[in-house]
Homo-oligomer: A and B are copies of this chain.
């Protein structure tokens, strides 16, 4: 919230958040949408979102503010909405959690949380008019701020939707950590019967090259017509607006900071190609089919898990730090086939042994991301194995991190934990030929 002083002056001027405004400062003039105050932002500044998509903070004192156009009167209160059911149209559910895909619609409507009104989503993506939509505003979080608590909330909200007669559920999400969330829901929603589709956008819609519309249309088609009863992540498949890929929620990673096709399937084929006209082309024969069974929710997580990357010169005392903080599990992002330093002064082997002795599982993944770890090829790998490390095949480090949280909430026994970690649950683990064929 802006300071009381600013709030009062805005009220006097008849300006509300979401309004189009012109701000003069000296000889500079800026036009844009008045945004809410940013946490930790300058208390004396107002923020406007310019037509080029950037937000700008401007000292309120010394600025002349003029209202150009009111916002569309969309309040903060509406958190659930249903479109009028039209016979023959498939019903889908959209759960909003924040991120760029949300800020897009904000800007398009001139509102701030307007995105969560189905009518506004449909307005900006007219193709969504082909669907009956139940929507829910869950929260508005940029994805760098997602936590395991948010994953649980998401899982519960999706679970609730899945129990209705919806054809499938879409979760809109910031892109940065979307692959952590899709993995988390892959483990927390068991016996899935319908598609659960994560989507977002890399660029807000005020940019000519926005990807949000196509991502949303493809997601709606995949959620309503797709045959995949798994958690997937649907985003641009190329730098053009020609198709999206549905990636398996446990086999995908953001691999570019800004490109529209930033997400790539890792160690697996994408599940499907989805075209904006609704065509779906399966690209992976191995998936769980839509079915009549009952989905179940298993949202327990042990959050005291650390993800630790090894590198030359690393300080192995980091393990002691986490153990001191009562952490219950480690996932190591080793080098290559899953190596960790074994050299004096940097050796991680004794830490793996100590953690294991203390009943703390240590899971091995690779910072190469592509390929699988292996406990046998080199002598140093066997040292790790003998010290108690659990080698997680071709599981991504981020996915192993999330999975270990879930597993630790269900067992404290190292042998059982190992068995659970190395048993495929949601496509996170592929058994393939040995690494050195």
Using a CB-CB cutoff of 8 Å, which residues 360-389 of chain A contact chain B?
A: 366, 368-374, 376-380, 383
Which stretch, A286-294, A310-318, A415-423, touches the partner chain B?
A310-318
A13 at the interface (CB under 8 A from B): no
State which of B203, B257, B309 has its C-beta within 8 Å of the C-beta of A370: B257
Contact A256 B371 (CB under 8 A): yes
Q: Does A342 contact B (CB under 8 A)?
A: yes
Q: Per a CB cutoff under 8 Å, which of B38, B148, B209, B379 touches A41?
A: B379
Asked whether B259 lies within 8 Å of A371 as measured between CB atoms, the reply is yes
Cross-chain contact B207 with A369 (CB below 8 angstroms): no
Given contacts A436-B53, A436-B207, contact A177 B335 (CB under 8 A): yes
Prevailing SS type, chain A contact patch: loop
Asked if residues B311 and A366 are in contact (CB atoms below 8 Å), the reply is: no
B343 touches A145 (CB 8 A): yes
Interface check A306, CB cutoff 8 A: yes
A4 sits at the interface (CB 8 A): no
Shortest distance between the CB of A63 and any CB in chain B (Å): 19
Contact indicator A336/B176 (Cβ below 8 Å): yes
Which residue of the partner chain B has the closest CB to A387?
A: B40
Interface assignment of A401: CB less than 8 Å from any CB of chain B: yes
> B312 and A349: CB pair below 8 A?
no
Contact, CB under 8 Å: B335 / A258 = no
**If A336-B144, A340-B144, A341-B144 touch, does A315 touch B309 (CB 8 Å cutoff)?**
no
Which A residues are closer than 8 A to B by beta carbons? 38-41, 47, 53-55, 141-148, 150-151, 175-177, 180-181, 203, 207, 209, 254-259, 262, 303, 305-307, 309-315, 317-318, 321-322, 325, 327, 333-343, 345-346, 349, 366, 368-374, 376-380, 383, 398, 401, 405, 435-437
- For this complex, 29 residue pairs linking A to B, each with C-beta atoms less than 8 Å apart, are A39-B342, A40-B383, A41-B379, A47-B379, A55-B379, A141-B343, A142-B378, A144-B334, A144-B342, A147-B313, A147-B345, A147-B346, A148-B313, A150-B312, A176-B336, A176-B337, A176-B339, A177-B335, A181-B312, A254-B335, A256-B371, A257-B336, A257-B368, A257-B370, A257-B374, A258-B374, A262-B371, A311-B401, A317-B325
Shortest Cβ-Cβ A-B pairs, 3 listed = A257-B371, A144-B339, A176-B335
